[in-house]
Amino acid sequence: MEDLINNLLFIIQRFNWSSVLDIVLVTIVFATLLFLLRDTEALVLLRGVFLLVILITLLTSLVNLPAFTWLVNTLTPALIFAIPVIFAPEIRRALERVGRISDMDFLSRRNSRSTREETEAMLKALTRAAGRLSERRHGALIVIQRRQYLTDYLKTGVPLNAEVTPELLLQIFYPNTPLHDGAAIIMDNRVKSASCVMPLSASGVLNSLPERTMGLRHRAALGISEVSDAIAVVVSEETGSISIAHDGRLIRRLDTDRLYNSLHAFLFNDAIPGKKNFLTTLKSLIKLKSKPNQEDKS
């Protein structure tokens, strides 16, 4: 115990501005790591590892245990090789998120290929279709491409390249039709492909919810939002509720007005990189007063 106190006093006496910078950098690294691992099963594992490391450090510092200390020092280098294996999915997801930062040509690309009016018309058609699907309790998964291309997922479906209309989306997701099982991908305001296979989410977001009414469609929506910057609209087949998945998060229980406002906020307010993140956009949506849409109510 005296050695521990002496070590602490030794550190405090030599504490200077470079030590502050050192602590700040380490804090930033750990904060970034926890942010990237949020809502994942790996976060629980990471907490257990941290707790185990703290307990072992205190045990070896307070009590003289030569054999146990030798065992810990021998096994510690092996953890360096074990960490990439244990956290492989999370490391891949983090690198994919970092890679999105370099893809900043979305605004100019969208302005050159489609106008704001066309995008708003697409959103209105999608909103009307989602409302009708919700009333009929027809399950649906619609993915809107943004900065990051979804070419690999387009190839898994049936090419359409059709204009977005409520009638088309209703026909695609009509039960027991050839295209109803899978996702419809919208790119450049057109339905490029339907019946596409999406990656399933590996996070614990759905597991933490008390309801058990969300199945593969919601997992696929979260999955595509985790590996890309796409926006996924989900209509539950069991309850008819409408949800939006974005950046590994799920906004649930939306009506048609809130759905349109949410999609509009993500596609336009968040089009400029760094202007708004998911949380600020979500806060603005909560405060946003829904405007009545006569076409949706008809």
Q: Is the pLDDT at 120 greater than 50, yes or no?
A: yes
* Residue reference for tokens 């510092």: 61
3-state secondary structure at position 250: strand
Count Cβ neighbours within 10 Å for each residue of 217-252 and write b for 16 or more, e otherwise.
bbbbbbbbbbbbbbbbbbbbbeeebbbbbbbbbbbe
pLDDT: is 100 or 255 the higher one? 255
Q: Summarize pLDDT for 232-256 with one digit per residue, the tens.
A: 999 999 889 999 998 888 888 899 9
Q: Summarize pLDDT for 139-188 with one digit per residue, the tens.
A: 999 999 988 788 889 989 999 999 999 999 999 999 989 898 899 999 98
Q: 42 is written with which tokens?
A: 């790996």
Instruction: Give the H or E element holding residue 233.
Output: strand 231-235
Q: Residue 272: its pLDDT value, please?
A: 39
Q: Is the pLDDT at 199 greater than 50, yes or no?
A: yes
Q: Summarize pLDDT for 39-74 with one digit per residue, the tens.
A: 555 666 667 777 877 887 777 777 777 887 787 778
pTM: 0.61
Q: Which domains does the chain have, with CATH numbers?
A: 2-100 (no CATH), 106-297 (3.40.1700.10)
DSSP assignments along 39-51, one per residue: TBHHHHHHHHHHH
Q: Is the pLDDT at 270 greater than 50, yes or no?
A: no
Q: Are the CB atoms for 244 and 237 separated by under 8 Å?
A: no
- pLDDT mean across residues, the chain: 77
Q: Residue 33: its pLDDT value, please?
A: 72
Q: Residue 295: its pLDDT value, please?
A: 39
pLDDT: is 42 or 2 the higher one? 2
Q: Which of 78-82, 89-93, 211-215, 272-276 has the lowest mean pLDDT?
A: 272-276
Q: Residue 142: its pLDDT value, please?
A: 96
